[in-house]
Structure 1
């Protein structure tokens, strides 16, 4: 294990990026991974500061989720129907990362308010949870927690579902400091943030830039008014600027990743035309009977 200190300590205001520091990439003085895959050229520059000895194995290949969401946006109406949204209803997607600082960990009353305050004829509320939430608590436990809200109209996207389609369906994204809020900048929907913790968020990250201008949900204000204002004052330029920081190879992940794998395997790549595929339709949990949860 390599311990950083002295001249290697990051300057004030700059935090190590998970996965790009020496503690993850170097062991006994040697770079361990055969390849370090990056989504954006900005990350390549960051790797050069964090662990320059790993630059020779770094490859900028883009982001598969970025490509999949972009390919799904033209089919937005199909994903809305899969979430149970009717004609004229707006889909409000509540997105939670994992841990005690997440929306689910800190803002549980917000889910209840979204279901109870928003007129059901105008809004359809859905919840999208990070895989670590499901892994930590299990589907039965999460289903039990959310069953009451589910029977009152909350659509809970299954852990076995393709989450990219749910994000493509959103008219409004309500999120925390997780990556789903960042991907929400691609959808053309306003992103409203809950209280984002000051600690642990890289100030140079795209998420920090989003946090600098995205509206914050207020617990003391009616939700309808806040959502309506966010949609009315939406300005796409800021969101597009953040979305462009997710991938510097839009639409090219499959091509670049395939080329890299064949090169590493020392095989000749077969002729193929690869294009990002739209996400499968989202699947939601069913809360048919008290105590019964089915995907």
Structure 2
């Protein structure tokens, strides 16, 4: 249970008696999930070096919260405010990558997506059992509260998403900015580091790296085919192939790190490299030679980078038409247990270039410009002049498999 003791930080009526840097603009980063947190750090890195800016973090809570979020936020070593204290102050800028709790915070909100695209891969919301109406991430119920549009700036990836917003919540159009995707831009900028990422994963030049990517929920790769990891390891010679696993942070949050690692322990003993949920998945996708995935964002990003993709799982009729996952499904083959894996990897390679072009357009129509566009929007809300140096997307961190798990 979070302590109600407030932090003696740089905000509050008496802050002037303790700060070292006075009159900084206060930026609150709202982190309800690890997924949102990893995306928001890309924005934080665009402004935290500014001597005029003070960044603070908070983890929202009500009757429940996701397991592991507090530990993740603490590990970033930023100043963390208790949720009650964060709600008692007005901030110069609020950064969010989730719709949850935005009605409670005070200050202009910049809202971005926490994954690839605003058209969700699943047609119906998992939170609405038996739902019959399709949902998106730009629906009115998510972007407004009692008639008030919540974000002051709504970052979108594509022009098509802007048109979707016009249909779903036209009152939010004035807040919308088509910015592209800062995560994809960072991955594109880091493709030259591919060999460094592979060395970090201990993948020698003569070996090929197969990455098994899974989102969360029962229709995911791990949800439907947990035996896939062991099967791939047994089918491919260790001398020629390395195998890594990337699982959605929510899979870890719901089941707990101990349980997930226990479920995968047999495969780890056989050589599986498990990438932790909080960092390293982007670099692992850059390092990959073949991705076996599902409808999750990580598979979409890998496809956009030109990595050969084969699908192991899909929501089937529950897939949202026109979503990034749907674009991937249109080009990527399905994993077949009766065909040699090497042949399936080769087949995936033949469609990789076309898949990359189509998926990239579905994720971003402002390629390599997201950092500049989003930084400009943040400084506009802060009412500060932008720094002189160009805005560049943060490069993905080095991948580090979970300690003690390498063979």
TM-score bracket relative to the smaller structure: 0.7 to 0.9
Q: Give the CA deviation at 1:29.
A: 2.4
Query: Partner of 1:241 in structure 2?
Result: 358
Matched residue SS, 1:245: helix
Superposed CA deviations along residues 34-91 of structure 1, whole A, max 9, x for unmatched, are 2211111111011111111111111112211101110111111111111221121111
How many angstroms apart in 2 are the aligned matches of 1:27 and 1:254? 29
How many angstroms apart in 1 are the aligned matches of 2:365 and 2:375? 17
Q: Single out whichever of 260-269 and 121-130 deviates more from structure 2.
A: 260-269
How many angstroms apart in 2 are the aligned matches of 1:44 and 1:179? 20
Q: Give the CA deviation at 1:258.
A: 1.2
Asked if 1:16 is matched to 2:153, the reply is: no
How many angstroms apart in 2 are the aligned matches of 1:206 and 1:159? 22
Q: Give the CA deviation at 1:14.
A: 8.8
Q: Give the CA deviation at 1:137.
A: 1.9
Aligned partner (choices 282, 285, 294) of residue 402 of structure 2: 285
Superposed CA deviations along residues 205-250 of structure 1, whole A, max 9, x for unmatched, are 232122012110013333233223333x335123212222211122
Query: Partner of 2:310 in structure 1?
Result: 192
Asked if 1:154 is matched to 2:290, the reply is: no
- The verdict on how the C-alpha distance between 1:219 and 1:279 changes in structure 2, with shifts beyond 3 A counting, is same
What are the equivalent positions in structure 2 for 1:214-293 lying under 5 Å apart?
Answer: 214-231=332-349, 233-287=350-404
Asked if 1:170 is matched to 2:281, the reply is: no
- Stretches of structure 1 lacking an aligned partner (at least 5 in a row): 1-12
Q: Single out whichever of 240-249 and 52-61 deviates more from structure 2.
A: 240-249
Asked if 1:201 is matched to 2:300, the reply is: no
TM-score normalised according to structure 1 size = 0.87
Asked if 1:97 is matched to 2:199, the reply is: no
CA contact (8 A) 1:21 1:47 kept: yes
Matched residue SS, 2:387: coil
- The verdict on how the C-alpha distance between 1:72 and 1:20 changes in structure 2, with shifts beyond 3 A counting, is same
CA contact (8 A) 2:309 2:352 kept: no
Matched residue SS, 2:338: coil
How many angstroms apart in 1 are the aligned matches of 2:387 and 2:196? 34
Matched residue SS, 2:366: coil
CA contact (8 A) 1:92 1:174 kept: yes
Query: Partner of 2:6 in structure 1?
Result: none
Q: Give the CA deviation at 1:167.
A: 0.7
How many angstroms apart in 2 are the aligned matches of 1:222 and 1:166? 24
How many angstroms apart in 2 are the aligned matches of 1:125 and 1:280? 19
Query: Partner of 2:257 in structure 1?
Result: 139
Query: Partner of 1:35 in structure 2?
Result: 153
Instruction: Count how many residue pairs are aligned between Structure 1 and Structure 2.
Output: 276
CA contact (8 A) 1:209 1:242 kept: yes
Query: Partner of 2:174 in structure 1?
Result: 56
Asked if 1:179 is matched to 2:261, the reply is: no
- The verdict on how the C-alpha distance between 1:50 and 1:110 changes in structure 2, with shifts beyond 3 A counting, is same
CA contact (8 A) 2:331 2:351 kept: no
| Structure with greater proportional helix content | 1
- Greater relative contact order, per chain length (Cα 8 Å cut-off, separation 6+): 1
- The verdict on how the C-alpha distance between 1:264 and 1:147 changes in structure 2, with shifts beyond 3 A counting, is same
